[in-house]
Amino acid sequence: MRFSIIIPVYNRLDEVDELLESLAHQTVHNFETIIVEDGSSAPCQEAVERWQDKVDVKYFYKSNEGRSIARNYGLERATGDYFIFFDSDCVIPPTYFETLEKVLAERPLDCFGGPDAAHESFTTTQKAINYAMTSFLTTGGIRGGKIQLEKFVPRTFNMGYSRQVYDRVGGFREMFSEDIDMSTRIRQAGFSIGLIRETPVYHKRRVDFRKFFRQVYVFGMSRITLKLLYPDSLKLVHTLPALAVVAGVVCVVLGIVVSPWWFLPIGIYLLAIFIGALISTGSLVIATKAVPASIIQIGGYGTGFIKAFTHKILLGRGRNIAEEIEIRRGK
């Protein structure tokens, strides 16, 4: 069993260096690594050359067209039985591929994904953001956590599928939430999809709250795009951040106009996040930062969802979304 790791890169020299270092320390080396530089102004070729004697890595530079096109470029050049997708801001635990091979031998899956976690070297802000993205108190329950509120959907920070899947389903579409779109197409084609809890990655995500807000805001908007592509894909759980935003605004307004007691539900919820983060991380600093991180995570996703729902559903300006998405080298 051989794996092909495919990583699109855009101006992430330091991240690629750390990622390749973690791959060099794998307990087994049953994989090739394909780095696709998507028109970066600060290429990572130097980092690739630094690790070439320890990692089977191939480097390609192409004009900037987007991460999905870069992944498809790598897919066309991959030789493995399975294709593995990481983001460039991931660090891979040393037993990842040893464990993955054992699990797939015991429990074959056509498509799979693993969870993400915060490495001890991450900043307190990164760890707080990781908590916000994985905690059941926010929306972590739908991201491969211990409790799931919908069918598991692999994400490209830690995702893989077989060559047979690629031959039938094709490549990624150039769109936001392209990994959810891909997982949906794989499931509709009748392939098996599963979560492999034993293969987490350390995912840095965004390094500050401003970038984090922009990321989750786009996530919220893209959920409506997916609903237009797949009408049955929108579930009640996906609306919870938007409902939380509306409820929060109502409580704040009533707290100002009617009675301060209306602030109590918000206070209880934020206190629960703080306590949960404190228990989970053991750090007062991370727990404190987890509060604004969770507000941003829910608020950003919720407002993006509301804006897209209003624009594309209520006003009907997104009905031809399938035509708006340029499908390059996908099916």
Residue 331's pLDDT is what? 42
Position 324 pLDDT exceeds 50: no
In the beta sheet, which residues pair with residue 3?
A: 31, 82
Q: What is the mean pLDDT of the chain?
A: 89
CA distance 118 to 125: 11
Higher pLDDT, 209 or 323: 209
In Å, the largest CA–CA distance within the chain is 68
Q: Which of 41-50, 164-173, 247-256, 300-309 has the lowest mean pLDDT?
A: 41-50
Higher pLDDT, 328 or 126: 126
pLDDT in tens, 213-240: 998 999 999 999 888 888 888 888 889 9
In the beta sheet, which residues pair with residue 61?
A: 37
Residue 316's pLDDT is what? 80
Burial of 156 (0-12, 13-18, 19+ CB in 10 A): buried
Residue 147's pLDDT is what? 44
pLDDT in tens, 139-194: 764 444 444 445 788 999 999 999 999 999 999 988 888 999 999 999 999 999 99
pLDDT in tens, 6-47: 999 998 888 899 999 999 999 999 999 999 999 898 889 988
CA distance readout (Å), 179 to 152, 161, 185, 208, 254: 12, 12, 10, 23, 40
Q: Which of 123-137, 204-218, 292-306, 310-324 has the lowest mean pLDDT?
A: 310-324
Q: Are the C-beta atoms of 173 and 181 separated by less than 8 Å? A: yes
Residue 206's pLDDT is what? 66
Residue 278: how many CA atoms within 13 Å on its side-chain side?
10
What is the pLDDT averaged over residues 90-103?
A: 96
Higher pLDDT, 317 or 131: 131
Higher pLDDT, 119 or 272: 272
**pTM (predicted TM-score):** 0.84
Which three-class secondary structure state does DSSP give residue 57? Answer: strand
Which three-class secondary structure state does DSSP give residue 196? Answer: coil
The answer for residues whose C-beta is within 8 angstroms of residue 92's C-beta and 6 or more apart is 19, 22, 23, 26, 86, 201, 202
Q: Are the C-beta atoms of 54 and 29 separated by less than 8 Å? A: no
Q: Which of 176, 132, 177 is nearest to 154 (CA)?
A: 177
The percent of residues in the chain predicted with pLDDT above 90, rounded, is: 66
φ/ψ of 310, rounded to 5, equals: -65, -45
pLDDT in tens, 285-295: 999 999 999 99
* The pairing of beta strand 82-86 with beta strand 158-162: antiparallel
